[in-house]
Amino acid sequence: DIQMTQSPSSLSTSIGDRVTITCRASQSIGTSLNWYQQRPGKAPTLLICGAFTLQSGVPSRFSGSGSGTEFALTITNVQREDLATYYCQQAFTSPLTFGQGTRLEIK
């Protein structure tokens, strides 16, 4: 199975800040990388597919980058509603494995 490693595991930030979450794959996955947001007590929702394609309805302050084995999710101008845990997922090959998550806390 492809292992996905996220960092950091948690992040504390202030409203209006910019944050970056990184995700590393144990082997090259091209751009087959998705990002999900999971708010407390809710199911995950898709933010970005194909490493950088923003889903319809997702605010433009979210952006994705990377290819191969190194990826990043950046949130500019963080808002209170961004309080959540963020997961990367490789969609290159089955099983579609997830990173361990990054919990974003708002100061």
Partner 1 sequence: QVQLVQSGAEVKKPGASVKVSCRASGNLFNTYSLHWVRQAPGQSLQWMGWINAGNGNTHYSHHFQGRVTLTRDTAASTAYMELTSLRSEDTAVYYCASLYHDLLTGHQYYDIWGLGSLITVSS
Contact of 69 with 24, CB cutoff 8 Å: yes
For residue 44, the minimal CB distance to partner 1 (Å) is 6
- Does residue number 86 form part of the binding site for partner 1 (CB under 8 A)? no
In this structure, are strands 102-106 and 19-25 parallel, antiparallel, or unpaired?
unpaired
For residue 75, the minimal CB distance to partner 1 (Å) is 19
- Does residue number 32 form part of the binding site for partner 1 (CB under 8 A)? yes
- Does residue number 91 form part of the binding site for partner 1 (CB under 8 A)? yes
Place of tokens 């806390």: 105
- Does residue number 66 form part of the binding site for partner 1 (CB under 8 A)? no
- Does residue number 98 form part of the binding site for partner 1 (CB under 8 A)? yes
Give DSSP secondary structure letters for 26-94: SS--TT-EEEEEE-TTS--EEEEETTTEEPTT--TTEEEEEETTEEEEEESS--GGG-EEEEEEE-SSS
- Does residue number 50 form part of the binding site for partner 1 (CB under 8 A)? yes
Q: What are phi and psi of 70, to 5 degrees?
A: -120, 125
- Does residue number 95 form part of the binding site for partner 1 (CB under 8 A)? yes
Applying CB under 8 A, the residues found at the interface with partner 1 are: 32, 34, 36, 43-46, 49-50, 53, 87, 89, 91, 94-101
